[in-house]
Every structure is written in structure tokens, then in C-alpha cells.
Structure 1
Amino acid sequence: MSRGPRAELAEKIAGEVVLSDDPGATLRKWRTDFEIAQTDLADALDVSPSVVSDYESGRRGNPGIEVVRRTVAALLDIDEQRGGTHIRQYTRVLSAGFDSEVVHDLREYGATIPTQRFYRAIDATELVSGTHDTIAGHTVIDSIEVIRRLSSDEFYDLYGESTNRALVFTNVTRGESPLVALRVVKPTPHAVVLHGIEPDDVWEHATDLARIEGFSLAVTSADLEEMLDGLRELP
């Protein structure tokens, strides 16, 4: 009998924590990814918030297997009680065969939003306007890992439910490789964002390719974690 999505995700989180050189930091990463406050996690575990803080900071040393198991279960329980948004998000990434080294974030929105609202959330500057001015989701991917590890069919899976979305490429130097890849994979998303560079750093042919393909092209130099935090504010 195959395991359910929750069991697969629980195994992934627990494995990352146990194998991490800094288990507390890894626990903190997952808690913040699930947008759960230390106080809420502490309530679910029936401990004081200082206990959670001590584990995450390393003041209590490495958490044992039982602590990790209970913490992971509590994170998933809280998310399910809130509607299971993050479980569904990570399940979709895992079911497509991706991991956190390839996909930083993948979400569908409850309704379409203006592309400019998306850009404001990640402090992006638009270089080319696309033929569409709204999106209904986003995918944040590592440009090097995507090109190195994924086939064209797997790349298309990154679009999630629809091409009506923004693809954000991290680990970008000039944006040449992502833009060339988008010439091969059809159809293209509504918006493409090159993360980690300034407008003057963009490959000289990038804007021409964006106009030919009809997608909006933008850049942002925001810190990765700050950008992901901004995306969590979207509906």
C-alpha cells in the first residue's frame, strides 16, 4: 500500500532534520516555511515557547528522534487545522519529482492577481511588459539545478496547474540560460523574474526574447528569504 502525501512529507522533513549539521536551524526553517509561530508550536507540543526556542537555537543540543517525530507531526497537524495549504504545496512539488534544491516555492492563488502586485511583493523591476497582466500562481526555482537536472517535460511540470503564473529563476548571473530554455519549452509563463541581479546585469538579448515570446520580464535583487517571505503575503 502506498503512503499518503502527509507521510511522505513527514519523512522528508524528519530526514532533513536528522541529517542536518544544524538540526535546530532546520527545524526553524520548516516552522517558518509553514508560517507557524513558536508559541503555536509550543502549545501543540505542550511545552513552553522557550523549549522550542532552545532547540532551534541549539542551546538544548540536538533533538532526539522522538522530539523530531513529535515536532514534525505537530507542524503537519497545525497546517491541516488551518486548511492544509502548505502540505498541498509541498506535496505537489514532491509528487512532481522535485526537491527543495530545485524548487524553493510553488503555489496556486485563490484568484488571479495583477502582475504588478506580484512584483511589488518581491521588490522587482519590470523590464518588458507581457501580453498578460495577471497571474494565478508562482514557482521559484534554482536556474542551475533546473537546467542541470530536469528534462523539458519535467521543466513544464514546474508550471503547476497553469502557465498563468510567474516563474522566478534564482542563482542567475545574466539570465541567458533561463531565457534560452524558455525558447524551447512551450508554452511560456505569463511572467519571468530573474532573481539576484540588477537591470544593468541582464543579458543583452533577454528583453528581445521576452518580447518575442510575449511574457513580462522583471528582475529583483531582494534577499532570497525576504523574497519568499514577500510571496507568503500573497493570497
Structure 2
Amino acid sequence: MFNDSQKNRVARWIAGDISTSNDPGAAIKQWRKKFEIKQKTLAEKLEISPSVISDYESGRRNSPGTGIIKRIVRAFLQTDEEKGGQVTRAFANRFGAHLPPEIILDMQEFEKPVKGEDLISAVDGEILANEDSLNRNLFGYTVIDSLKAVLELTSEDFMGLYGLTTERALVFTKVSTGRSPLVAIKVRGIIPGMIVLHGEVNEADNLGVKIAEILKVPLILSKKPTAEKLLEGLQNSVP
């Protein structure tokens, strides 16, 4: 039997797949079919009209926001659980080895948005690139062991770093120059709301900064003395 941690991991992976898709509506439809849920059933769980689900899936309605995606994923898992949880269990087993705790040090979703400027204070940050983009809202963060992530994560695994939304801070620890995380993000083409580097970074890598400028994503260097202090600052920032 899968536990809550595994179920939450499956939920984050599904939400990440939907929110980072070029066609979120098609992704919702694909996952709905994987869970063998009819549009009418999903609509009843969400307390909306089936036509709304149809409009999302067909692209007639604008892509759903973070809140709607979160509710849809919860409805998938809840409906499956009522039928015995076989689909969720299968995905929990499939992704059980993905995103292990030694790579993902912490992952949080914010109930309320946090401004980039406020998150900089939480990590004792120095701005390296794109200061003019710090007024955007962030809806979560993921803290990553950069060495293990770059070496071990597949493109599919990497998607799971984004949780329920790409509008989050990806925080890379054990960084020496910052080049590898920026290259990995550029290659995969999924841009977070902020990138934070933490580690033995004496000066910013010029190529890393250039990539951040091209991607138009705020790049921050955390001055926290240890990873533990970094996590503490981030956890205290959760609204």
C-alpha cells in the first residue's frame, strides 16, 4: 500500500506534467483517461459543469491556473482512492525511486503567493541577474542537491522538481560555479520563477549569468552559511 508521502509525490508529478505542458488541456485529458474518470465524474468532484472540463481539454477555455490544476489532481486521486486506489498505487510504485530525499532536500507549495523580493530576504540573497523581474509572484520552492540532480535526474524526473507550478524558486545547493544548474534548466526548456544558488560560489559564473539573462529568470546567490540555515530561512518564509 502506498503512503501519504508517495501519494503526494504522485500528485506533484502529475501537476508538474500538466502545468509544464505546451497544451495543459490535452495533458488533463490524458491523465483523466489514465485514471479512467469520465468528464461528468470529474466535474461533479470539482462542482462545476462538465462543459467546463470539455472546454479546458479542447483548448476552448484558457489554460487553468495553479489552483484549478491542484483541485483537478486531487479529484483524480480521490476518485481513484474511492475505487481502491489501483492507478495511484501503480504510479506510486513507478515513481517510488524518483526524486529521492537525498536529491530533493525540501519542497513546499505556498498557500498564498510570495514576492521574489521576500524570498531573497529568506535566503539572505544577492541578486546576480534580472533584478527587474523580482516583483513576480512565487507559489513554492524546491531545494535540490545540485550535484546529484545534474548527474542522476532524467528529463522526466526533472519535471517533478516543479511541483504544482513552474512559478517557484528552484534552489540548488552544493554549487561551486552555478553553471551546471543553469545549463540543465536551459536544455530542458522549463523556466522557473527564480533560481537560487547556494554553496562555495566565490564569484558568479559568467556563462551561468548569461543563461539566466537569456531566460529572463532572476538569479540569486544565497549567503546563508549552511544548507541547514538555508532550509530554515525558506521554511520560515512559507505563508
TM-score range, shorter chain: 0.5 to 0.7
Aligned residues: 150
Higher relative contact order (CA 8 A, sep 6+): 2
Contact 2:196 2:220 in 1 (8 A): yes
Give the Cα–Cα distance (whole angstroms) in 2 for the partners of residues 183 and 6 of structure 1: 30
C-alpha spacing 1:120/1:7, structure 2 compared with 1 (3 Å): closer
Distance in 2, matches of 1:7 and 1:212, equals 36
How big is each residue's C-alpha offset from its partner over 1:154-174, in whole Å with a ceiling of 9 and x where there is no partner?
111100011000000011110
The correspondence for 2:162, drawn from 159, 173, 176, is: 159
8 Å CA contact 1:141, 1:169 repeated in 2: yes
Report the alpha carbon displacement of residue 207 of structure 1 after superposing the two structures with TM.
1.5
8 Å Cα contact 1:174-1:203 kept in structure 2:
yes
Which residue pairs with 1:183 in the alignment?
Answer: 186
For the 8 Å contact 2:170–2:196, the answer to whether it is kept is yes
Aligned amino acid, residue 217 of structure 1: L
- Please, what TM-score do these two structures have when normalized by structure 1? 0.59
Q: Any idea what the Cα deviations from partners look like across 1:6-35, whole Å, max 9, x if unmatched? A: 6999xxxxxxxxxxxxxxxxxxxxxxxxxx
3-state SS, counterpart of residue 175 of structure 2? coil
1:105 aligns with 2:113: no
SS of the aligned residue for 1:205 comes to helix
- Distance (whole Å) between structure 1 residues aligned to residue 5 and residue 125 of structure 2: 34
The percent identity for this pair of structures is: 31
Deviations 1:74-110, CA, capped at 9 Å, x for gaps: xxxxxxxxxxxxxxxxx9xx86822221011000001
Q: CA RMSD in A?
A: 2.3
Tell me the equivalent position of 1:57. Answer: none
Shift of 1:153: 1.5
TM-score, length-scaled by structure 2: 0.58
8 Å CA contact 2:174, 2:200 repeated in 1: no
Moved over 4 A (4+): 6-9
Question: Is 1:117 aligned with 2:146?
Answer: no
**Which runs of no fewer than 5 residues in structure 1 stay unpaired?**
10-90
Q: In the superposition, relative to structure 1, how do residues 160 and 8 fare at CA in structure 2: closer, same or farther (>3 Å)?
A: closer
Assess, with a 3 A threshold, how the Cα gap between structure 1 residues 214 and 7 changes in structure 2: closer, same or farther. closer
For the 8 Å contact 1:126–1:218, the answer to whether it is kept is yes
**CA distance in 2 between partners of 1:134 and 1:202 (Å):** 25
Q: Match of 2:79?
A: none
Per the TM alignment, residue 213 of structure 1 is displaced from its structure 2 partner at its CA by 0.5
- Is 1:230 aligned with 2:229? no
